[in-house]
């Protein structure tokens, strides 16, 4: 598509970091949870190498925190997800699908047990607040549901630990994956979790005071100068190489967790009250689609994103990108399983590609 301007208004909400993001020369935004999300600062490929080699600071305020508190909060969270949350400890994050009563994916957030009877749903791009309030009303639950005044800032890349340690102190290296600590910046405690939407390692700082946004941003860039810190955002190349799913791109409410390969994040046999479990138990093994990887030696074009073989549509492309590291054209595609059972390759435009499991196994591909 040709370049267009994104018209920014109050609906495309800004963040406490937006002034700094603008000053840093942001070149592209997308809109996520009705909020601006910077996508690149130089270009996708240049940003990719800086993320993989050094460290980046990302304004991911758009990962909104839907806070569910009150006596029935854990019950509501468990109703919404087929992942067993009963053994979560305070400060832990759990990547978990949210599913409706027919098993359709509502969202794929990180669930955070912030305190007893206080859960944060760190959402992907769909209106979970509305869904949760509807359920709470329908089930007659004693909960409070609101979008919390929290703006996550991610620090990602191989040098992220060094940088976050300089700013938040020596407790940082002791934080395990998807665990967090409350650490101080300018006298204010905020949650710092080892997490983030890349596989390059890093942390997410859950800023809870908008007045500290610019001081925090500035401190990270000052302390990170010798580490080559750069502004960035979730990177299309890195996230596809890493097999990180993007709700709305790779899957939506018409897909179930089996089709997306999220089986590891649901507990089909758990004795829990979860509204999607009966449906999921019934469709297990019978689902129609499977999200797969496609690998071509050169770029290919899919008209209307359709994947055609034997004169029929056998799937559709959800995300695609050229990988500069592997010199391959990579795609994630929702494929019909009946086609997969008989085919391991695909011809598009006269070019033959391999159909592979996700996440991509680049040792096997080369
Ligand atoms: N961080 C936070 N909130 C988020 C995202 C995030 N909300 C929206 C979006 N990203 C949700 N999607 C994902 C997808 C993948 C992961 C996290 C959020 C992820 N997955 C790891 C994996 O697949 O290997 C680990 C999963 C696990 O072991 O639990 O990290 O990035 N706050």
| pLDDT score for 50 | 98
CA-closest residue to ligand 1 atom 15: 244
Are the C-beta atoms of 192 and 180 separated by less than 8 Å? yes
Out of 35, 37, 95, 267, mutate this one to test ligand 1's pocket (max ligand atoms within 8 Å of CB): namely: 95
Given a contact cutoff of 8 angstroms between Cβ atoms, the answer to whether 219 and 191 are in contact is: no
Rounded to an integer, what distance in angstroms lies between the CA atom of residue 7 and that of residue 247?
23
pTM: 0.97
Atom of ligand 1 nearest to the CA of 93: 29
Q: Say which residues have a Cβ less than 8 Å from residue 107's Cβ, sequence separation at least 6.
A: 97, 98, 121, 123, 124, 126, 128, 131, 247
CB neighbours of residue 357 within 10 Å: 13
Ligand 1 centre to CA of 312 (Å) is 34
Q: Which residues line ligand 1 (CB under 6 A)?
A: 63, 95, 108-110, 122-124, 152, 178, 195-197, 204, 244-245
Residue 132: phi, psi to the nearest 5? -65, -40
Q: Which atom of ligand 1 is nearest to the CA of 206?
A: 32
- Which residues have C-beta within 8 Å of that of residue 255, sequence separation ≥ 6? 104, 105, 289, 291, 334
> What pLDDT does residue 2 have?
73
pLDDT tens across 323-339, in order? 999 999 999 999 999 99
Ranges assigned E (strand) in 11-161:
28-32, 35-40, 55-59, 65-69, 93-95, 98-99, 105-107, 110-115, 118-122, 144-147, 151-156
Residue nearest to atom 8 of ligand 1 (CA): 124
**pLDDT of 234-272, one tens digit each?**
999 999 999 999 999 999 999 999 999 999 999 999 999
Residue 153 Cα to ligand 1 middle (Å)? 14
Instruction: Supply the pLDDT for residue 1.
Output: 65
Report the C-alpha gap between 250 and 244 in whole angstroms. Answer: 9
pLDDT digits (tens, 9 = 90+) for 61-89: 999 999 999 999 999 999 999 999 999 99
CA 146 to chain centroid: 21
Please give the Cα distance from 244 to 33 (Å, whole number).
18
Domains of the chain: 18-60+151-240 (3.30.1360.120), 65-147 (3.30.70.1400), 288-366 (2.40.30.110)
Taking the centre of ligand 1 as the mean of its atom positions, its distance from the CA of residue 328, in whole angstroms, is: 25
Share of the chain above pLDDT 70, in %: 100
- Nearest-CA residue for ligand 1 atom 22 is 244
Mutate to test the pocket of ligand 1, among 59, 195, 196, 266 (most ligand atoms within 8 A of CB): 195
Which atom of ligand 1 has the smallest separation from the CA of 265? 29
Please give the distance, rounded to the nearest whole angstrom, from the Cα atom of residue 15 to the centre of ligand 1: 21
Give residue-wise pLDDT tens across range 171-225.
999 999 999 999 999 999 999 999 999 999 999 999 999 999 999 999 999 999 9
Q: Tell me how far the alpha carbon of residue 187 lies from the centroid of ligand 1, in angstroms.
A: 29
282-296 per-position pLDDT tens digit: 999 999 999 999 999
The residues pairing with 192 across neighbouring beta strands, listed in sequence order, are 181, 205
Top mutation candidate among 33, 37, 59, 110 for ligand 1, by most atoms within 8 Å of CB = 110
- Give the distance (Å) from ligand 1 centre to CA of residue 309: 33
Nearest alpha carbon, ligand 1 atom 29: 95
In terms of DSSP bridges, do strands 151-156 and 55-59 run parallel, antiparallel, or are they unpaired?
antiparallel
Q: How many residues does the chain have?
A: 366
Q: Ligand 1 mean position to 110 CA, how many Å?
A: 6
Compute the average pLDDT of residues 292-320: 96
- Quote the mean pLDDT of the chain: 97
Mean pLDDT of 148-158: 99
CA-112 nearest atom, ligand 1: 32
* Separation of CA 96 and ligand 1 centre (Å): 8
Neighbours of 294 (CB within 10 A): 25
Residues 6+ apart with CB under 8 A from 272: 78, 84, 86
């Amino acid at each position: 598509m040709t370049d267009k301007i994104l018209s920014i208004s109050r609906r495309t909400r800004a963040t406490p970091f937006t002034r700094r993001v603008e000053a840093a020369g942001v070149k592209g935004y997308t809109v996520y949870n009705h909020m601006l999300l910077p996508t690149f600062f130089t270009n996708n490929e240049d940003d990719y190498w800086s993320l993989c080699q050094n460290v980046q600071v990302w304004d991911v305020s758009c990962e909104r925190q839907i806070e569910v508190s009150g006596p029935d909060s854990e019950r509501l969270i468990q109703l919404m997800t087929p992942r067993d949350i009963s053994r979560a400890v305070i400060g832990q994050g759990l990547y978990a699908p949210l599913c409706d009563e027919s098993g359709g994916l509502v969202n794929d957030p990180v669930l955070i047990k912030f305190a007893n009877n206080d859960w944060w749903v760190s959402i992907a791009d769909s209106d979970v607040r509305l869904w949760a309030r509807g359920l709470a009303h329908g089930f007659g639950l004693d909960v409070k549901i609101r979008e919390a005044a929290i703006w996550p800032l991610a620090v990602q890349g191989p040098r992220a630990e060094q940088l976050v340690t300089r700013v938040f102190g020596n407790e940082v290296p002791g934080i395990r994956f998807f665990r967090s600590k409350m650490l101080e910046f300018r006298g204010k405690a905020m949650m710092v979790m080892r997490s983030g939407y890349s596989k390059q390692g890093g942390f997410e700082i859950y800023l809870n005071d908008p007045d500290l946004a610019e001081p925090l941003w500035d401190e990270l860039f000052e302390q990170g100068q010798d580490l080559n810190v750069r502004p960035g955002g979730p990177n299309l190349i890195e996230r596809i190489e890493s097999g990180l799913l993007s709700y709305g791109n790779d899957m939506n409410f018409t897909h179930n967790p089996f089709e997306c390969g999220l089986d590891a994040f649901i507990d089909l046999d758990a004795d829990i009250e979860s509204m999607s479990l009966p449906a999921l138990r019934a469709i297990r093994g019978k689902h129609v689609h499977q999200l797969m990887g496609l690998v071509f030696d050169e770029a290919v074009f899919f008209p209307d994103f359709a994947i055609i073989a034997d004169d029929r549509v056998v799937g559709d492309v959800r995300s695609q990108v050229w990988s500069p590291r592997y010199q391959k054209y990579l795609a994630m595609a929702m494929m019909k399983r009946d086609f997969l059972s008989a085919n391991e390759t695909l011809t598009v435009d006269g070019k033959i590609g391999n159909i592979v499991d996700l996440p991509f196994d680049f040792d096997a591909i080369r």
